Amino acid sequence: MKLSSAIQEALVALLCYDNTPGGGRFVRGLLEAKVFDPYFQDIVADAHAFVDKYDAVPGAHTLDLIQALCARKPDSKDIFERIFQSLEETKETINRDYVLSQAQSFARYQRMRQGLSDAIQALKADDETCLDEADGILEAARKSTNNLFDPGIRITDTERSLEFLTSRMESFPLMIPQLDNLGLGPARGRLITLAAASGRGKSWWLVHLGKMCAVLSRLKVCHITLELMPDEVCGRYMQSLFAITKRNEVVYRKQFQADELGRFIDMADVAIKNQPYLRDDGIASYIRNRVKNLTSKPQILVKGFPMGSLTMRQLIAYLDALQANSNFIPDVLIVDYPDHFSIDPKNTRLEVGQIYKQLKGLATARNMAIAVVTQMNRDGGSAKVGRAQHVAESAIKVDTSDVFMTFNQTDGEHALGLARLFVEKGRSDTDRFTVLISQAYALGQFCLDSVKMADGVYWRKVEEEAIQRGEEAT
């Protein structure tokens, strides 16, 4: 058993910067410097000395430690400086709980391994006392490993028991205020599901979610696709990130006007002109330059698996390999979509339920957000508002998800670039409400504006627009 480079770097960042209870000082007592790889060992040893002397993590003094190391080991100066730069970039976005759980498991392994070695050595005495001595060694090793785990939260420990007061703010923003303000976006340990009819934008929703998590919250996003080809998904991310059209055209979007309560009262067309487009001969150079000049590079990894081939065991193995070989620990896992996993058609209901439960368990175990989509049936596609009953195996999917929403769009709304998100379930906050959004898939944009739904006023406006266009509103 070995700590991956990604886990080691994250632990060094916690040791150097996290001064909260259970942070850097906990890491100090958990692992010795010798268990880290070279270069990390040197930094950890100096950080340990700092914590022991000042009872605080180095924090801003981490740079002093690095400079001192560079002076002592000038041949390794470039390596230490690169490590420091990486620590500075990642210290605010570490998957803290998961990293510490991995470190605890490693510490348990080390203690148990040492205990077994000492017990075997004791048995070599081959006398009447050796069995009791070996048994005592193993019992001590077992107790020492169990003591590493958090016993739980005491209600009287208000430092922890009142964390629920700020938990709403822990969801990652999606730039849809009606969801963000209620904490209904993706969050660590949470499974968020969107159901929509075929061809209505499920994949665009996941691209929007991945983009916002990577750009706004600087999180590591792993996007698993069993629906589209990986290059298609990459193309959608580029369109979404840089508002690129497919062809040279003017794109119109709706801009909302709201009342004092944030409810829809009117909308107007806004023309978007002169955008870069995919059929331009110079588009590849344009995108390369835009990516190169980004201040903060979005950490989005796209991985494709053939439809009907992926199992949960394989997904977990892939995440483990990603951590071990690429130093990439996702904060957000996107799956498009679980219904396309390897499923025995004779046991569809049972296996789909197991997949959703395992995804929820994976979100909790790895302290990451998981976002998935699923498809509504034909009745849901024709309904003005899709509900849970319009989704195959709906009870399992809704019960397992922390947030469950449906994407709704009539043909009239589709023509106007409008859609509605109905929040069927919000485990920790308000639900059973609708958010109206404006879209421009031609620009790669799932949501450009949003407002609270006001049924009467809204549908009259959609009807008026349809009449002007000579189309049906529904």
Domain that holds residue 387: 168-469
Q: Are residue 81 and residue 198 in the same domain, yes or no?
A: no
Q: Are 72 and 43 in contact (CB under 8 A)?
A: no
For residue 25, what pLDDT is reported? Answer: 87
Q: Is the pLDDT of residue 146 over 70?
A: no
Task: Kindly state whether residues 102 and 83 are assigned to the same domain.
Answer: no
Give the chain's mean pLDDT: 88
Percent with pLDDT over 70 in the chain: 92
Last residue of a domain, one of 47, 68, 94: 94
Are 342 and 201 within one domain? yes
Task: Provide the token pair at 455.
Answer: 């049924």
- pLDDT tens-digit readout, 169-188: 579 999 999 999 999 999 99
Task: Report the C-alpha gap between 150 and 75 in whole angstroms.
Answer: 42
Looking at the structure, do residues 380 and 411 belong to the same domain, yes or no? yes
Q: Are residues 123 and 70 in the same domain?
A: no
Tell whether 320 and 346 lie within a shared domain.
yes
Q: How many residues are listed for the chain in this entry? A: 474
Asked if residue 388 and residue 357 are part of one domain, the reply reads yes
Give pLDDT tens digits for 391-403: 877 688 999 999 9
Q: How many domains does the chain have?
A: 3
Mean pLDDT of 70-75: 94
Question: To the nearest whole percent, how much of the chain has pLDDT over 90?
Answer: 61
Backbone angles phi, psi at 440, to 5 degrees: -155, 80
CA distance 387 to 424: 7
Domain boundary among 75, 94, 113: 94
What is the three-class DSSP state of 31? coil
Kindly state whether residue 374 falls inside one of the protein's structural domains. Answer: yes
pLDDT tens for 312-339 read: 989 998 998 899 888 899 999 999 989 9
Residue 162 in domain: no
Q: Note the helical H segments in 312-454.
A: 312-326, 348-365, 378-382, 394-400, 411-416
* CA distance from start to end of the chain: 60
| 408 CB-contact burial (10 Å; exposed 0-12 / middle 13-18 / buried 19+) | buried
- Residue-wise pLDDT for 22-34, tens only, equals 788 888 888 889 8
Tokens 């909260």 -> residue = 20
pLDDT 10s digits, 192-201: 999 999 888 9
Instruction: Please indicate whether residue 142 or residue 163 has the higher confidence score (pLDDT).
Output: 163
Q: Are residues 209 and 107 in the same domain?
A: no
For the ranges 8-17, 309-318, 372-381, which has the lowest average pLDDT? 372-381
- Give the highest mean pLDDT range of 107-111, 300-304, 349-353: 300-304
Q: 136 with 189, same domain? A: no
DSSP notation for 410-433: -HHHHHHTEEEEEEEEETTS--SE
For 309, the 3-state DSSP assignment is coil
Domain boundary among 74, 94, 114: 94
**CATH code, 455:** 3.40.50.300
Q: Do residues 331 and 453 both lie within one domain? A: yes
Q: With H, G, I as helix, E, B as strand and everything else as coil, classify residue 267.
A: strand
Q: Are residues 118 and 261 in the same domain?
A: no
Task: Judge whether 26 lies within some domain.
Answer: yes
pTM of the model: 0.78
> What's the burial of 54, exposed, middle or buried (CB within 10 Å: 0-12/13-18/19+)?
exposed
**What is the predicted pLDDT for the residue at 140?**
64
- Is 311 found in the same domain as 235? yes
Specify if 157 maps to a domain: no
Structural domain contains residue 474: no
Are 19 and 56 in contact by the 8 Å Cβ rule? The answer is: yes
Cβ contacts of 161 within 8 Å, gap of 6 or more: 153, 154, 155
| pLDDT mean over 416-421 | 95
